[in-house]
Structure 1
């Protein structure tokens, strides 16, 4: 049968969350809710629920490499999201394996600090992330705690966020979205530092809810989804923030588990998008 359509494909390289609120589960839900076809690479197997992580079982580096290769050789994505990378070796494996394939928009959500304030990655891993992964990404989406690690400074105000964002750019990041949800303020302010030297500020009212588990995963995956749908970077960031805000708002009144509950990813799901299939020559013509 002649191929007439193709799905916008988004890939996640991240850890497991059996409680369904964060990690690969949140990524797949977000991709699906926004009309994208989801593929996934598992990097770690945490044992967790809404009350926290009890243990983490490692996935062999070779298995991660083989997952990436087998998927990219068959179902090539239009955008890739990377979640927590907890060892320096894993950073090397991901960067080296992805370098074997054509460039695709790469979104990195640097999960480095738990909500309790505990560091989740060692200094050697952070150093490898800075040296090898950040320069390869098209967008990095740290929260305040993660930005503080990368910028090597305390962040307690909006002015600090501006300084930290500029420091992260100097690490080789192409674009930085610094999320301000952890600041003590009634207003949530996020700053987007683009690759043209401009800083865009986005403000919204903070939603008072305990159901915030997986917010960072959801936002980075939403942006990845819109990039897979050919949105320009700034438009993808704006649309991703809007989706995440609504997912939080529509899940505020739901009790799921005994701890920090998840967002409502399917508050208004889109159908799986079918785009016209273009041959390589037609695609080249379109890109000229």
Structure 2
């Protein structure tokens, strides 16, 4: 029986909590469960949050960040991991140190900067640390349009500039890039993927006009992370992630008074 220990796909989210249950670690763990992988977590921050916004937040002590990483590495066989809300430069740095120390498989960086309700989730001084210390560790980075613009300094006025954003991110050391187009105004939501071998592709889904999109980026990155743990290729994992998120938005559930959560119960083929 010993050879079967740790044989089940195990993944890790490194992020902040959402007391409202729609985003952050809560969204990641729900997504992992639906994708049939075992989810673990390093809690970087705790937020007081609901669908109306973020009311308060607390960053965990740096030594507790280290302790969580050490604890997971001592027991689990984590195949893939992702990051989300990291708070400030010191916490980004500490997470980067631990990702260098432990091999948790391919790393997906979701460079979370602002909550759906507008609250900042990454300090301005931390952007430099993300660019210099975290992005070079990433196998995949999944910024939305505003995040990609902040990271690259390129203002994208149309979808034609998505490849320029992606190439600029690759020049920072990221192997693979997914630019999410949800912030654009088009009726078709188009995302652009640029892979390490130079190949690229677009993925599209009809826009669902709803405020219930809280946790979209977390859920997409978590789905990709889970699918990679199952052995899917990166391009297949990205496409499955897009399919899951589009369906989770379209088949809405009525929770909260503001930017409501996705329907994580949906299933994809």
Whether these two folds match at TM > 0.5 is: yes
Q: Is the 8 A contact 2:53 2:115 kept in 1?
A: no
Inter-CA distance 115–197: structure 2 relative to 1 (3 Å threshold): same
Distance in 2 (alpha carbons) for counterparts of 1:113 and 1:146:
9
Larger radius of gyration: 1
Q: Is the 8 A contact 2:54 2:117 kept in 1?
A: no
Q: Is the 8 A contact 2:117 2:259 kept in 1?
A: no
Inter-CA distance 172–198: structure 2 relative to 1 (3 Å threshold): same
Q: Is the 8 A contact 2:110 2:143 kept in 1?
A: yes
Q: Is the 8 A contact 1:256 1:262 kept in 2?
A: yes
Q: Is the 8 A contact 1:33 1:269 kept in 2?
A: no
- Matching residue of 2:165: 164
Equivalent residue runs for 1:39-78 within 5 Å: 39-78=40-79
**Which stretches in structure 2 are left out of the alignment for 5+ residues?**
none
Shift of 1:76: 2.2
- Matching residue of 2:223: 222
- Matching residue of 1:281: none
Shift of 1:118: 6.0
- Matching residue of 2:139: 138
- Matching residue of 2:186: 185
Q: Is the 8 A contact 2:148 2:165 kept in 1?
A: yes
- Matching residue of 1:105: 106
Shift of 1:102: 2.9
Distance in 1 (alpha carbons) for counterparts of 2:233 and 2:123:
34
Distance in 1 (alpha carbons) for counterparts of 2:161 and 2:118:
19
Q: Is the 8 A contact 2:18 2:47 kept in 1?
A: yes
Distance in 2 (alpha carbons) for counterparts of 1:218 and 1:202:
16
Shift of 1:269: 8.5
The TM-score with structure 2 as length reference comes to 0.95
**Which stretches in structure 1 are left out of the alignment for 5+ residues?**
271-288
Relative contact order, higher structure (CA 8 A, sep 6+): 1
Distance in 1 (alpha carbons) for counterparts of 2:164 and 2:268:
37
Inter-CA distance 200–225: structure 2 relative to 1 (3 Å threshold): same
Q: Is the 8 A contact 2:181 2:191 kept in 1?
A: yes
Shift of 1:117: 5.4
C-alpha RMSD of matched pairs (Å): 1.7
Which structure 1 residue ranges, 4+ long, deviate > 6 Å from structure 2?
A: none
- Matching residue of 1:237: 238
Q: Is the 8 A contact 2:220 2:245 kept in 1?
A: yes
Shift of 1:29: 0.3
- Matching residue of 2:262: 263
Equivalent residue runs for 1:244-255 within 5 Å: 244-251=245-252, 254-255=253-254
Equivalent residue runs for 1:21-32 within 5 Å: 21-32=22-33
Per-residue deviation, residues 241-266 of structure 1 (Å, max 9, x unmatched)? 11111111222xx3211111111111
Q: Is the 8 A contact 1:34 1:269 kept in 2?
A: no
